[in-house]
Protein backbone atom coordinates (compact mmCIF):
# COMPACT_ATOMS: atom_id res chain seq x y z
CA UNK A 1 0.00 0.00 0.00
CA UNK A 2 1.06 3.56 -0.72
CA UNK A 3 -0.43 6.94 0.17
CA UNK A 4 -1.50 9.06 -2.80
CA UNK A 5 -2.29 12.77 -3.13
CA UNK A 6 -1.39 16.02 -4.86
CA UNK A 7 -0.42 19.63 -4.14
CA UNK A 8 -3.18 21.64 -2.48
CA UNK A 9 -3.36 25.35 -1.71
CA UNK A 10 -2.65 26.63 1.78
CA UNK A 11 -4.48 29.90 1.06
CA UNK A 12 -7.57 28.87 3.08
CA UNK A 13 -5.62 27.42 5.98
CA UNK A 14 -4.33 24.09 7.22
CA UNK A 15 -7.52 22.18 7.99
CA UNK A 16 -8.95 23.28 4.65
CA UNK A 17 -6.09 21.49 2.89
CA UNK A 18 -7.02 18.19 4.51
CA UNK A 19 -10.70 18.62 3.72
CA UNK A 20 -9.88 19.43 0.10
CA UNK A 21 -7.65 16.39 -0.29
CA UNK A 22 -10.36 14.19 1.19
CA UNK A 23 -12.76 15.44 -1.50
CA UNK A 24 -10.20 14.49 -4.15
CA UNK A 25 -9.87 11.00 -2.68
CA UNK A 26 -6.29 11.40 -1.49
CA UNK A 27 -4.60 9.98 1.60
CA UNK A 28 -1.69 12.44 1.72
CA UNK A 29 -0.90 15.78 0.12
CA UNK A 30 1.78 18.34 -0.55
CA UNK A 31 1.70 22.07 0.07
CA UNK A 32 4.04 25.00 -0.35
CA UNK A 33 5.24 26.43 2.95
CA UNK A 34 5.03 29.91 1.38
CA UNK A 35 4.53 31.34 -2.10
CA UNK A 36 6.37 28.93 -4.45
CA UNK A 37 8.18 31.91 -5.97
CA UNK A 38 9.46 33.02 -2.58
CA UNK A 39 8.29 35.96 -0.52
CA UNK A 40 7.87 36.68 3.15
CA UNK A 41 6.72 34.09 5.63
CA UNK A 42 3.22 34.55 7.00
CA UNK A 43 2.05 33.87 10.55
CA UNK A 44 0.54 30.46 11.32
CA UNK A 45 -2.77 29.92 13.11
CA UNK A 46 -1.73 27.26 15.62
CA UNK A 47 -5.32 26.24 16.33
CA UNK A 48 -5.87 25.64 12.63
CA UNK A 49 -2.74 23.47 12.56
CA UNK A 50 -4.07 21.43 15.49
CA UNK A 51 -7.32 20.88 13.59
CA UNK A 52 -5.38 19.51 10.63
CA UNK A 53 -3.34 17.25 12.92
CA UNK A 54 -6.55 15.80 14.36
CA UNK A 55 -7.98 15.38 10.86
CA UNK A 56 -4.88 13.51 9.64
CA UNK A 57 -5.04 11.13 12.59
CA UNK A 58 -8.77 10.48 12.26
CA UNK A 59 -8.61 9.91 8.50
CA UNK A 60 -5.42 7.83 8.73
CA UNK A 61 -3.57 9.99 6.24
CA UNK A 62 0.06 9.24 5.48
CA UNK A 63 2.91 11.72 6.06
CA UNK A 64 2.57 15.04 4.26
CA UNK A 65 5.26 16.28 1.88
CA UNK A 66 5.61 20.05 2.25
CA UNK A 67 7.57 21.78 -0.52
CA UNK A 68 10.02 24.65 -0.20
CA UNK A 69 9.70 27.60 -2.60
CA UNK A 70 11.45 27.16 -5.94
CA UNK A 71 13.47 30.33 -5.34
CA UNK A 72 15.30 28.80 -2.38
CA UNK A 73 18.82 28.23 -3.71
CA UNK A 74 21.23 27.28 -0.95
CA UNK A 75 24.20 27.16 -3.36
CA UNK A 76 23.65 30.31 -5.39
CA UNK A 77 26.68 32.24 -6.59
CA UNK A 78 25.10 35.31 -4.98
CA UNK A 79 25.58 35.61 -1.22
CA UNK A 80 22.31 37.48 -0.65
CA UNK A 81 20.35 34.73 -2.43
CA UNK A 82 22.04 32.06 -0.30
CA UNK A 83 21.33 34.03 2.88
CA UNK A 84 17.67 34.49 1.96
CA UNK A 85 17.45 30.79 1.14
CA UNK A 86 18.83 29.88 4.55
CA UNK A 87 16.41 32.28 6.22
CA UNK A 88 13.48 30.68 4.35
CA UNK A 89 14.69 27.21 5.33
CA UNK A 90 14.96 28.13 9.02
CA UNK A 91 11.55 29.82 9.11
CA UNK A 92 9.76 27.06 7.22
CA UNK A 93 11.23 24.28 9.34
CA UNK A 94 10.06 26.14 12.44
CA UNK A 95 6.55 26.11 10.95
CA UNK A 96 6.82 22.42 10.15
CA UNK A 97 7.50 21.60 13.78
CA UNK A 98 3.97 22.81 14.58
CA UNK A 99 2.73 19.81 12.56
CA UNK A 100 4.96 17.01 13.88
CA UNK A 101 6.28 14.08 11.90
CA UNK A 102 5.96 15.37 8.33
CA UNK A 103 8.38 15.71 5.41
CA UNK A 104 9.85 18.93 4.01
CA UNK A 105 11.08 18.58 0.42
CA UNK A 106 13.35 20.95 -1.49
CA UNK A 107 15.33 21.20 -4.72
CA UNK A 108 19.01 21.09 -3.69
CA UNK A 109 19.78 24.14 -5.86
CA UNK A 110 21.85 25.29 -8.83
CA UNK A 111 25.57 25.95 -8.44
CA UNK A 112 25.55 28.44 -11.35
CA UNK A 113 28.96 27.50 -12.85
CA UNK A 114 30.66 27.25 -9.45
CA UNK A 115 30.92 23.48 -9.87
CA UNK A 116 29.21 20.60 -8.10
CA UNK A 117 31.69 20.42 -5.23
CA UNK A 118 31.24 24.09 -4.33
CA UNK A 119 27.46 23.76 -4.55
CA UNK A 120 27.46 20.60 -2.45
CA UNK A 121 29.52 22.21 0.29
CA UNK A 122 27.17 25.21 0.50
CA UNK A 123 24.12 22.97 0.75
CA UNK A 124 25.79 20.86 3.43
CA UNK A 125 26.71 23.97 5.41
CA UNK A 126 23.11 25.23 5.31
CA UNK A 127 21.67 21.87 6.36
CA UNK A 128 24.12 21.57 9.21
CA UNK A 129 22.84 24.90 10.51
CA UNK A 130 19.19 23.83 10.62
CA UNK A 131 19.01 20.09 11.29
CA UNK A 132 19.05 18.91 14.89
CA UNK A 133 18.31 15.57 16.61
CA UNK A 134 15.15 16.67 18.45
CA UNK A 135 13.28 17.91 15.37
CA UNK A 136 10.32 15.83 14.18
CA UNK A 137 10.46 16.94 10.54
CA UNK A 138 12.50 14.97 8.02
CA UNK A 139 14.07 17.10 5.28
CA UNK A 140 14.11 15.56 1.80
CA UNK A 141 16.49 16.24 -1.06
CA UNK A 142 14.66 15.92 -4.37
CA UNK A 143 16.14 14.00 -7.30
CA UNK A 144 16.59 16.46 -10.17
CA UNK A 145 16.36 16.20 -13.97
CA UNK A 146 19.81 17.72 -14.50
CA UNK A 147 19.01 20.85 -16.45
CA UNK A 148 21.54 23.67 -16.32
CA UNK A 149 23.70 23.56 -13.22
CA UNK A 150 21.25 21.68 -10.98
CA UNK A 151 22.74 19.80 -8.07
CA UNK A 152 21.23 16.35 -7.50
CA UNK A 153 21.14 15.08 -11.08
CA UNK A 154 22.14 11.59 -9.97
CA UNK A 155 22.16 9.47 -6.83
CA UNK A 156 25.89 10.00 -6.29
CA UNK A 157 25.47 13.78 -6.13
CA UNK A 158 22.74 13.42 -3.52
CA UNK A 159 24.89 11.03 -1.51
CA UNK A 160 27.69 13.60 -1.57
CA UNK A 161 25.39 16.03 0.22
CA UNK A 162 24.10 13.45 2.66
CA UNK A 163 27.59 12.30 3.60
CA UNK A 164 28.50 15.81 4.73
CA UNK A 165 25.45 16.34 6.94
CA UNK A 166 25.96 15.70 10.64
CA UNK A 167 22.35 14.98 11.61
CA UNK A 168 21.84 12.28 9.00
CA UNK A 169 18.77 10.76 10.64
CA UNK A 170 16.76 13.90 9.76
CA UNK A 171 17.65 13.79 6.06
CA UNK A 172 16.15 11.69 3.27
CA UNK A 173 15.29 11.71 -0.45
CA UNK A 174 12.16 12.36 -2.50
CA UNK A 175 12.36 10.53 -5.83
CA UNK A 176 10.62 12.27 -8.73
CA UNK A 177 9.78 9.85 -11.55
CA UNK A 178 9.87 12.53 -14.26
CA UNK A 179 13.18 13.89 -12.98
CA UNK A 180 15.02 10.57 -12.69
CA UNK A 181 13.75 9.52 -16.13
CA UNK A 182 14.97 12.76 -17.71
CA UNK A 183 18.23 12.44 -15.77
CA UNK A 184 18.86 9.15 -17.59
CA UNK A 185 17.53 6.47 -15.23
CA UNK A 186 15.53 3.87 -17.16
CA UNK A 187 12.55 3.30 -14.88
CA UNK A 188 10.56 1.96 -17.84
CA UNK A 189 12.52 -1.21 -18.65
CA UNK A 190 14.93 -1.38 -15.68
CA UNK A 191 13.05 -0.19 -12.59
CA UNK A 192 14.52 -2.95 -10.42
CA UNK A 193 18.06 -2.00 -11.41
CA UNK A 194 17.40 1.70 -10.75
CA UNK A 195 16.06 0.99 -7.27
CA UNK A 196 18.90 -1.43 -6.58
CA UNK A 197 21.35 1.30 -7.59
CA UNK A 198 19.60 3.75 -5.26
CA UNK A 199 19.80 1.22 -2.46
CA UNK A 200 23.50 0.57 -3.10
CA UNK A 201 24.47 4.26 -3.24
CA UNK A 202 22.09 5.90 -0.75
CA UNK A 203 20.03 3.17 0.92
CA UNK A 204 16.38 2.48 0.14
CA UNK A 205 15.44 3.30 3.73
CA UNK A 206 16.47 6.90 3.01
CA UNK A 207 13.87 7.13 0.20
CA UNK A 208 10.97 8.66 2.14
CA UNK A 209 8.57 9.95 -0.54
CA UNK A 210 7.98 10.05 -4.30
CA UNK A 211 6.66 12.52 -6.83
CA UNK A 212 4.61 10.49 -9.32
CA UNK A 213 4.74 12.15 -12.72
CA UNK A 214 4.93 11.22 -16.37
CA UNK A 215 7.37 13.08 -18.64
CA UNK A 216 6.89 14.99 -21.87
CA UNK A 217 10.45 14.11 -22.89
CA UNK A 218 12.48 10.97 -23.64
CA UNK A 219 14.91 9.47 -21.17
CA UNK A 220 17.98 11.63 -20.58
CA UNK A 221 16.44 14.85 -21.95
CA UNK A 222 17.29 16.80 -18.76
CA UNK A 223 14.51 19.34 -19.32
CA UNK A 224 12.08 18.71 -16.42
CA UNK A 225 8.74 18.69 -18.25
CA UNK A 226 5.98 16.91 -16.34
CA UNK A 227 3.05 15.18 -18.06
CA UNK A 228 -0.21 13.62 -16.92
CA UNK A 229 -0.01 9.97 -15.88
CA UNK A 230 0.06 7.63 -18.86
CA UNK A 231 0.26 10.38 -21.47
CA UNK A 232 4.02 10.85 -21.59
CA UNK A 233 7.22 9.01 -22.44
CA UNK A 234 7.26 6.98 -19.22
CA UNK A 235 3.76 5.63 -19.75
CA UNK A 236 1.01 4.03 -17.74
CA UNK A 237 2.46 0.53 -17.45
CA UNK A 238 5.81 1.75 -16.10
CA UNK A 239 4.19 4.12 -13.60
CA UNK A 240 1.91 1.32 -12.46
CA UNK A 241 5.00 -0.79 -11.74
CA UNK A 242 6.42 2.07 -9.66
CA UNK A 243 3.23 2.27 -7.59
CA UNK A 244 3.17 -1.50 -7.09
CA UNK A 245 6.88 -2.05 -6.48
CA UNK A 246 7.52 -3.84 -3.17
CA UNK A 247 10.52 -1.63 -2.34
CA UNK A 248 8.35 1.50 -2.45
CA UNK A 249 5.36 0.56 -0.31
CA UNK A 250 4.23 2.56 2.72
CA UNK A 251 5.41 5.87 1.29
CA UNK A 252 3.55 9.04 0.26
CA UNK A 253 3.29 9.52 -3.51
CA UNK A 254 2.58 13.10 -4.64
CA UNK A 255 1.16 13.95 -8.07
CA UNK A 256 2.73 16.99 -9.76
CA UNK A 257 1.09 16.51 -13.12
CA UNK A 258 -0.36 19.45 -15.14
CA UNK A 259 -3.92 19.10 -13.83
CA UNK A 260 -6.83 20.91 -12.23
CA UNK A 261 -8.73 19.47 -9.26
CA UNK A 262 -10.90 17.28 -11.46
CA UNK A 263 -7.84 15.90 -13.17
CA UNK A 264 -6.16 15.11 -9.86
CA UNK A 265 -9.29 13.39 -8.61
CA UNK A 266 -9.26 11.16 -11.70
CA UNK A 267 -5.55 10.37 -11.35
CA UNK A 268 -5.88 9.55 -7.65
CA UNK A 269 -8.71 7.16 -8.49
CA UNK A 270 -6.58 5.60 -11.24
CA UNK A 271 -3.61 5.08 -8.91
CA UNK A 272 -5.91 3.48 -6.34
CA UNK A 273 -7.01 1.03 -9.03
CA UNK A 274 -3.36 0.20 -9.70
CA UNK A 275 -2.93 -0.48 -6.00
CA UNK A 276 -5.93 -2.85 -5.99
CA UNK A 277 -4.53 -4.80 -8.95
CA UNK A 278 -1.39 -5.45 -6.94
CA UNK A 279 -3.46 -6.75 -4.04
Domain residue spans of the chain: 3-278
- pLDDT value at residue 42: 79
Low-confidence ranges of the chain (pLDDT < 50): none
The answer to whether domain 3-278 has CATH 1.10.1740.10 is no
Beta strands in the chain (DSSP E): 3-6, 65-67, 103-106, 138-142, 171-176, 207-212, 214-215, 226-227, 252-255
Q: What is the pTM of this model?
A: 0.95
- pLDDT value at residue 45: 94
Residue pair 175/198 in contact (Cβ under 8 Å)? The answer is yes
Instruction: Give the whole-angstrom CA distance, residue 179 versus residue 143.
Output: 6
- pLDDT value at residue 113: 87
Amino acid sequence: MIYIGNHVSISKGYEAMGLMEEKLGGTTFAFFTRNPRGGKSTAVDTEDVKKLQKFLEEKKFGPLVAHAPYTMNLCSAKEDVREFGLQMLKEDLEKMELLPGQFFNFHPGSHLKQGYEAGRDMIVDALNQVLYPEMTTTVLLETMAGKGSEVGRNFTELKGIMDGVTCKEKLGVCLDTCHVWEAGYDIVTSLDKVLEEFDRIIGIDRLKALHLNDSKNPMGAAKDRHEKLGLGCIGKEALMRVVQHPMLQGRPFILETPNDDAGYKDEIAMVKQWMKKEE
